[in-house]
Structure 1
Amino acid sequence: MTETHLSQKFTQLQKAKETPKNTFPKIQRVAHYLRGRKHFAHHYSPRLVSIGPIHHGKPNLELGEKYKLMWAAKYLERTKQDAQTLYQKIASNIEQLKQRFAEDVIRDFPDDEKLSWMLFVDGCSLLQILDKGNLNDPHEMNVKVDQLVLVWQDVLLLENQLPYKVLKDLSGHQNDATLVNSMNNFLNYHHLSPVRPEQRQENHDDKDEERALDEDGYTSVVVDNEDTQQHEEHRIEIRKELPFHLLDQLRRYVLDDPLEEPRHQKGDKENSERDENTNDDMTTYRNIGELRTAGIKLKVEKSRRLRDISFSYRWMCLCAELTLPEITVDDTTAPTFHNLIAYEMCPDFENSFDICSFVAFMDSLIDHPEDVKELRSAKVLQNALGSDEEVAKLFNTISTDLVPNTESYSKVRWKIEKHYRKKYRAWIAQGYHTYFSNPWAIIAFLAALFAIVLTFIQTWFAINPRDPC
């Protein structure tokens, strides 16, 4: 190695520490160590439409290219916007937009005009999908429902994302709130949505309007006052960072409701107390079967937010409950979780690994099909995938190679462990579950107790007969 070449190497080494850190996660490919896992790669690739540059031009997506042109034309007609004006918005900002992509992603687009046109068409078509991609009415998109289902899955892939700024420039909205609400309305129908199925149409018609942010970043909500039985309108400031793309908004949406603090983060005294004698290193992961054996009952959390997992006692510590959010498992569950996990594992995305932690926690509860059956019986899990064995295998597979945040659900794990270590609590909880979990069990217990009392009285009088007067 020559002295000049060696000098260049040392200069390169010196500059390496000065490399600026990204202020936002760039749209990039799924990490090779995730995509390279056996049977996992197909979860990251689109099947009908490509959005953005990564899968653009692939032969198997030619039909999707025709659909995107149609949807873009429909979008322009519906919103009464001029195509050339919108295209110029993208073209004039192309240098700034290129910074939203990883270098290897736009390497195949040296021509800015080609890249600008692709972003323009894909952006308009995605906005049409967000507004009109209703699975209950696929005719709005001029496709069959089976194709629209594929579109739904494709637009939520990590490698199929567009920068939020592209959508904002093409949306024609003066404020960001309208576009974010459009994203949320679309995501309402996702199986991970915190909105319950029976509330979706109602929310679409009324509640989304009530909770829409105005230009100042506030939202007005109607709150029932239980004491006065009156409706009060509160204007709540919920200024939040704008999403980086649609997948990022899905992650935010399923994890957090800006109007309410997550349950596991609430500062109640019981959740904040720690037993100094408890060694956190000894915390173990127990499946549903073991929890039931210890007298821990499952309860469904109606909020449907993935963060809302808690452990508590009722009836003077007679009943132990593990509360879990309701979740639907279907054909879209695996690709959705795989892509959300891949997004959290992007090297430039600073986050607390909430999705990874939730999947790891569920995997710790599910070892066997019987565990899935218990979750179904408690109405925590809705199985639209197939057999319970398939669901168990799905969670065991998704959790492969995950590195969750050790702080996530640590209080829940600690409480479960504390319950295990105090055996009398487990016995009490088991007794409550056995004899007082339903009216028939209570009646049977009381009948048995009454029979024992009668037997005791009969025996007493047999041993101690009363003298006749």
Structure 2
Amino acid sequence: MVNNTIYSREELLIESIFSHSVPKIQKVAHYLRDRKHFAKHYSPRLVSIGPIHHGAKNLQPGEKYKLMWASMYLKRTKQDAQALYQKIASKIKQLKELFVDVVIGNVHDDEKLSWMLFVDGCALLQILDKGELDEPEELKVKVDQLVLVWQDVLLLENQLPYKVLQLLSGHENDAKLLETMKKFIVCHHLSPVRPTKKQDTGEDNALVEEGHTRVDIKNNDTLQGEVETPFHLLDQLHRNVLDDQDQKMEDTRSKQNTDDDCDMITYRNIKELRAAGIKMKANHSHKLRDISFSYPLLCLWEELRLPKIIVDYTTAPTYLNLIAYEMCPDFKNNYEICSFVAFMDSLIDHPDDVKELRSAGILYNVLGSDEEVEKLFNTIGTDLVHDRKIYSHVRCQIEKHYRSKCRTWIALGCHTYFATPWAITALFAAVLALVLTFIQAWFAVNPKK
């Protein structure tokens, strides 16, 4: 009887998690956090946002910063502190439903929780508006501290519900708040450069750095009619990285290109692809899903096109937290970030694979050695659940290329003799020498009378 009761409670708990309309603020799953060398990427280093890490001893200096930023926000926006606090306090029961019970279980006092959300929310809005790398004095911190703040506010365990920011923002509609969130994400986390003037006017949202664009960002969402709001800041990052229309197109392409011939697909690294005559080339659209396989030169030359990516100190925490978010039990998604990381992990098995990506202009290594990049992708690509359909059309085409011996030999020959100008010159010289030798031999046998 007791066992049946326990089982029923577990069923009710699971049902309640999946029946909730939006993902709740929660901790990183223990099976992700418990992995060696991973925990540090899930925990804040300077400021806590929300109740999960509130009160941690190592984050006490951050409490003073948050009070200062909240005060700066109220002064800048000319809003009444008491009135804003009451907005939070009056909605505290509804706001508590946006957190899993274990997160706010230790905060029994609604007044204490309301104060926490009020201070943290105002501080976060100030960070989003004034957290400029070139002007750290706007937040009265040093550059190195500001960099930590940027990373901290995008951790899964450091999120506030969008509703909190909405109540405190003072904006009449969601468009202005969303614009602020997107500007912060584009400027500071998946791109090392600021938007150009075109981006400021909304004409072109590509981030340009000496002709190169960051792969992950898309910031041209249209705000027509009712605005689809994110669940929190990390969710907005997830939405910016991906694109719903691209997903529909990708799913269609996957279904069209997946057939019985590709039931057994072997994942191959870049070294193996190059050995089969497949060339790496940078894609110009710079979106995660834009990975393609094509035959641009009379079906004799194969190219695997990949989006450009920059690997720096933010890569591990950013992708690990996006992955942790996708693996939350109440977040329904297609594991797009997991699938991209898993695909890149399958390509990179050796530092030479990283070198090949750098030579092709696909990967920009800011970490240092190629060994560090190879280790990074192999680390964050561990134990991932991914959607096999997302890149199935590419893997299928690669598999068909491998199974076609004739095409593989032709492609390998093209790669060997036409890959560089020097190889082409050497081949031309060899052919010319052979022709001249033949002519000389012919005249020797058939001298003129």
Fold conserved between structures, TM > 0.5 = yes
- Which of 306, 326, 332 aligns to 2:308? It is 326
- The answer to whether structure 1 residue 261 and structure 2 residue 255 are counterparts is no
Deviations 1:144-169 (A, max 9, x none): 00000110110011000000111111
For residue 237 of structure 2, what is the aligned residue in structure 1? 250
Rate the CA distance shift 1:464–1:391 in 2: closer, same or farther, 3 A.
same
For residue 73 of structure 1, what is the aligned residue in structure 2? 71
**1:175 Cα shift?**
1.5
Count how many residue pairs are aligned between Structure 1 and Structure 2. Answer: 431
Is contact 1:181-1:208 (8 Å) kept?
Answer: no
- The answer to whether structure 1 residue 241 and structure 2 residue 228 are counterparts is yes
**1:337 Cα shift?**
1.3
Structure 2 gaps of 5+ residues are 205-221
Rate the CA distance shift 1:266–1:458 in 2: closer, same or farther, 3 A.
farther
For residue 364 of structure 1, what is the aligned residue in structure 2? 346
What is the alpha-carbon distance in structure 2 between the residues aligned to residue 14 and residue 35 of structure 1?
Answer: 25
For residue 45 of structure 2, what is the aligned residue in structure 1? 47
Deviations 1:283-327 (A, max 9, x none): 111111111111111111233322221111101112211111111
What is the alpha-carbon distance in structure 2 between the residues aligned to residue 114 and residue 361 of structure 1?
Answer: 45
Is contact 1:191-1:327 (8 Å) kept?
Answer: no
What is the alpha-carbon distance in structure 1 between the residues aligned to residue 10 and residue 159 of structure 2?
Answer: 33
- Which of 355, 358, 362 aligns to 1:373? It is 355
For residue 392 of structure 2, what is the aligned residue in structure 1? 410
What is the alpha-carbon distance in structure 2 between the residues aligned to residue 447 and residue 108 of structure 1?
Answer: 79
Moved more, 442-451 or 246-255: 442-451
- The answer to whether structure 1 residue 123 and structure 2 residue 132 are counterparts is no
- Which of 258, 261, 269 aligns to 1:287? It is 269
Structure 1 gaps of 5+ residues are 213-234
Identity of aligned residues (%): 64
For residue 108 of structure 2, what is the aligned residue in structure 1? 110
Rate the CA distance shift 1:86–1:15 in 2: closer, same or farther, 3 A.
closer
- Which of 337, 345, 349 aligns to 2:327? It is 345
Rate the CA distance shift 1:190–1:309 in 2: closer, same or farther, 3 A.
farther
For residue 278 of structure 1, what is the aligned residue in structure 2? 261
| Deviation beyond 6 Å, 4+ runs, structure 1 | none
For residue 91 of structure 2, what is the aligned residue in structure 1? 93
User: Residues 134-213 of structure 1: matches in 2 within 5 Å?
Assistant: 134-193=132-191, 197=192, 200-202=194-196, 205-210=197-202
Moved more, 390-399 or 446-455: 446-455
What is the alpha-carbon distance in structure 2 between the residues aligned to residue 402 and residue 242 of structure 1?
Answer: 28
**1:207 Cα shift?**
2.2
RMSD (CA atoms)? 2.5
Which amino acid letter does the alignment assign opposite residue 278 of structure 1? D
- The answer to whether structure 1 residue 443 and structure 2 residue 443 are counterparts is no
Q: What secondary structure sits across from 2:229 in the alignment?
A: coil
What is the alpha-carbon distance in structure 2 between the residues aligned to residue 328 and residue 276 of structure 1?
Answer: 34
Q: What secondary structure sits across from 1:361 in the alignment?
A: helix
What is the alpha-carbon distance in structure 2 between the residues aligned to residue 410 and residue 98 of structure 1?
Answer: 41
Is contact 1:369-1:389 (8 Å) kept?
Answer: yes
Is contact 1:264-1:409 (8 Å) kept?
Answer: no
**1:250 Cα shift?**
0.8
Rate the CA distance shift 1:263–1:145 in 2: closer, same or farther, 3 A.
farther
What is the alpha-carbon distance in structure 1 between the residues aligned to residue 239 and residue 124 of structure 2?
Answer: 19
Q: What secondary structure sits across from 2:44 in the alignment?
A: coil
Q: What secondary structure sits across from 2:195 in the alignment?
A: helix
Rate the CA distance shift 1:191–1:432 in 2: closer, same or farther, 3 A.
farther
- Which of 364, 368, 376 aligns to 1:386? It is 368
Q: Name the TM-score, length of structure 1 as normaliser.
A: 0.86
What is the alpha-carbon distance in structure 2 between the residues aligned to residue 90 and residue 306 of structure 1?
Answer: 38
**1:394 Cα shift?**
0.9
For residue 21 of structure 2, what is the aligned residue in structure 1? 23
Rate the CA distance shift 1:462–1:415 in 2: closer, same or farther, 3 A.
same
Is contact 1:51-1:122 (8 Å) kept?
Answer: yes
**1:16 Cα shift?**
6.5
What is the alpha-carbon distance in structure 1 between the residues aligned to residue 13 and residue 144 of structure 2?
Answer: 49
Moved more, 330-339 or 120-129: 330-339
Q: Name the TM-score, length of structure 2 as normaliser.
A: 0.89
